[in-house]
Amino acid sequence: MISNAETDRKTRAPDGYFFRLLKLNAPEWPYSIMGAIGSVLSGFIGPTFAIVMSNMIEVFYYRNPASMERKTKEYVFIYIGAGLYAVAAYLIQHYFFSIMGENLTTRVRRMMLAAILRNEVGWFDEEEHNSSLLAARLATDASDVKSAIAERISVILQNMTSLLTSFIVAFIVEWRVSLLILATFPLLVLSNFAQQLSLKGFAGDTAKAHAKTSMIAGEGVSNIRTVAAFNAQNKILSLFCHELRIPQLGSLRRSQTAGLLFGLSQLALYASEALILWYGAHLVSKGVSTFSKVIKVFVVLVVTANSVAETVSLAPEIIRGGEAVGSVFSILDRQTRIDPDDPEAEIVETIRGEIELRHVDFAYPSRPDIMVFKDFNLRIRTGQSQALVGASGSGKSSVIALIERFYDPIVGKVMIDGKDIRRLNLKSLRLKIGLVQQEPALFAASIFENIAYGKEGATEAEVIEAARTANVHGFVSGLPDGYKTPVGERGVQLSGGQKQRIAIARAVLKDPTILLLDEATSALDAESECVLQEALERLMRGRTTVLVAHRLSTIRGVDSIGVVQDGRIVEHGSHSELVSRPDGAYSRLLQLQHHHI
C-alpha cells in the first residue's frame, strides 16, 4: 500500500507559475481576448439589475396609477433587454474561456504524460509513483490547472468591472451612504462568501482524498480472477471501507464547520444591512437625503456584494487549481536521471553486440541498502549466447535491467562495443536491443497492433512475416478476426504461450542486434515450451543473446552459462564444462531440479 504522504500532499506552486501558464496558453490569445471582453461585459450585469430593481421599488410609491403603469412597462422591457444582454455576455465569456482552458488542459496532459514516460524506471519503483496515482494525477491535476488561469482571469475581470460600476453609481447618487457601505463592504462580501462556501459544504479535494480508495478498487477489478479464486471480495471491500474512513471523517468535520460558519455569516450579513438601513433612515429623517436615493444605493451595493461573493466562492476551485499547478510542474520540471534522448550523447547507428559489465556495484534505488551486485564482472562476445542461472533473487534479471539501462550502476561500467552506455544516446541504443520478458506486456489492442509495437511504421507483410517466425501465424489464422482480434487488458484473452509468442514476434519485427530473454519459458507447459523454444532458437541466430533461465533444460545449447550467486558470477563455461564439475554450483542446481522432478 502507499503512504498517506502522497494523497495528502500539497505541492506548492512554483514562483511565476501564472506567467508560465499564460505562455503555455499563448496559441489561444485571441480566445483569451474575446473571453476577457465577455467578462467585462458580464461585470455590468449585476449593477444594471440592481439599479433597475431599486427604480422599480421607487415606482411602487407613485401616487399616479398611470405613471406607475407607464414606468413599470418601461422597466419590464429594460429587464428583458438586460436578460438578453446577459445571455450574450455570459456566452462570450464562458465559450472563449472554455476553449482556452480546455486547450490548456489537453496541452498540459500531453506534456505531463511525455514527462512521466521520460523518467527513469527507478522513479516508477517508488510507492508514490504507482500507476493508479499517476493516472489520477494525469486525469485530475491537468483539469484543475484551468481553474488557475481561465477561471481566475474571468473572475477577476468580472468582479473588478462590477465593483467599479457599482461604486461609481452609488457615490454619484448618495455619497454618505456609499461611504458607510464601503466601510462594511468587506464584511458583506465575506458573509456572502461564507454562506456560499457553507452551502457547498467545503467540498475540498475529493479526488486526492479518494486516491487510495480508487487504487484499491482498480486493483480489485484488474485482478478479478485472483480475487474470485481466493474468495477475497470481502477483503477488498474491507480495505476499501477502511480507506474511506479518512475522507469520511474529514467530510464530517467540514460539515460541522460549514454549519457554524453559515450561522455566523448570516449574523454578520444582517447586522451590516441593519446598520446601513438605520443610517439611511437617519439621513432621510434629517432631510439630508431621500428615500429614493438611499434605497437605490443600498440595493445596488448589497446586490453587487452578493454577486461578487458568488464568484469569489469559486476560490476553492482556484486554490485547488494552484495546488494542481504545483503537482503538474513538479512532474514537468523534474530532470530524469537517465535521459533517453540526451542531445549530447553519441547516436548509435550500428553495433556489433559485444557486452561487458565491468566491476559493477548495484542496488535498486527503492532499496539502496540491499546490494544486488558487488564487483560484478561479465563479458559476452559478439554473436554469443550467454545464459544466466541461479537462485531466485540472485540478480539474474538485474543484468538485463542494466544492459537495457533501466538503471545505472553505483560503481563500475556497463559497456557495449567497448563504450560506456551512459555516453550513448539511449533511445537509439534501445532500437538495437530486443527484450522478451517472463510476463509479456501486451496492450489492450489487436494482435496486429501488439506485434507492430516492435517497429515504428511496420507494414502488414512485415508483421505477418515476424508472426510466422515466432510460430504465431498458425493460431492467429484460426481466430475469427485473425490479426484484428483484441487481446483484452494485459492480454487476458490469450493463453500464456500465445502471449509469449506475440512478444517474441514483436522482438523478431524489431530485428535487434542484442536479444535479452528474461525467463521467457519459465511459466509454460511442456508443449508450449517446445513450440516457443523453436521460435527462440530461430530468433537467437546471429545475435548476441542474454538468457535468464529457470529451467536448465532450455539452455543446454547456449555458448556459455554463468551461475550468479551472492551478486557475483561464481561459475562460467559451457554446459558440458560445468557438468564435468560434480561439486560445482551448476551441478548442484541440476541436481536440485532433477530431485524436484
Q: At 186, phi and psi to the nearest 5?
A: -60, -40
Query: Residue 370 has which C-alpha cell?
Result: 540491499
Q: Look-up: residue for cell 428615500?
A: 291
Fold of the CATH domain 440-511: Rossmann fold (3.40.50)
Helices 29-43 and 150-173: crossing angle in degrees, nearest 10, is 30
What is the rounded distance in angstroms from the CA atom of residue 465 to the CA atom of residue 511? 12
> How confident is the model at residue 417, as a pLDDT?
92
Taking each helix axis from N to C end, the angle separating 65-118 and 17-24, rounded to the nearest 10 degrees, works out to 90
Return the CA Rg of the chain.
35
- Beta-carbon contacts of residue 30 (< 8 Å; ≥ 6 apart): none
What is the model's pLDDT at position 379? 92
Q: Which of 115, 163, 123 lies closest to 141 in space, CA to CA?
A: 115
Per-residue pLDDT of the chain in tens (597 residues, 90 and over written 9): 333 333 334 556 666 677 787 788 888 888 989 999 999 999 898 888 888 888 888 888 888 888 888 988 998 999 899 999 999 999 999 999 988 888 888 888 899 898 888 888 888 888 778 777 788 788 778 777 776 677 778 888 888 888 888 888 888 888 888 888 878 777 766 766 666 565 554 544 455 556 677 777 777 776 777 778 777 788 888 888 887 787 777 777 777 776 777 777 677 777 878 888 898 898 889 888 888 888 888 888 777 776 666 666 666 666 666 667 777 888 888 888 888 888 888 998 889 999 999 999 999 988 888 899 988 999 999 988 899 988 877 888 899 999 999 999 999 999 999 999 999 999 899 989 988 887 777 888 888 888 888 888 888 898 888 888 888 888 888 888 888 888 877 667 777 778 888 888 888 888 889 989 887 665 555 666 676 677 677 778 788 999 888 777 677 778 888 888 888 888 888 888 888 888 888 888 887 766 544
Beta strand residue intervals within 294-354, DSSP E: none
pLDDT score for 509: 87
Cβ–Cβ < 8 Å for 362, 410 = yes
pLDDT at 582: 81
Q: Which of 290, 275, 99 is nearest to 188 (CA)?
A: 275
Q: Where in the chain is the domain with CATH 3.40.50.300?
A: 440-511
* Residue 125 dihedral angles phi and psi, to the nearest 5°: -75, -20
* Beta strands 355-362; 411-416: pairing state: antiparallel
CATH topology of domain 14-332: ABC transporter transmembrane region fold (1.20.1560)
Which DSSP state fits 483?
Answer: G
Domain with CATH 1.20.1560.10 in the chain: 14-332
Tell me, what DSSP letter sits at residue 336? Answer: P
From 108, 522, 176, select the one nearest 327 (Cα to Cα). 108
Strand order of the sheet with strand 385-389? 433-436, 514-518, 544-548, 385-389, 560-565, 568-573
Q: Quick one: how far is CA 202 from the chain centroid? A: 24
- What does the longest C-alpha to C-alpha distance in the chain come to? 122
Strands 544-548 and 514-518: parallel
Give the CA angle between residues 173, 175, 176 to the nearest 5°: 125
pLDDT of residue 510: 87
Residues with Cβ < 8 Å from 117, sequence gap 6 or more? Answer: none
Bridge-based pairing state of the strands 411-416 and 568-573: unpaired
Nearest to 439 by CA among 503, 529, 392, 485: 503
* Torsion over CA: 323, 325, 328, 331 (sign): negative
Dihedrals phi, psi of 355, to nearest 5 degrees: -120, 140
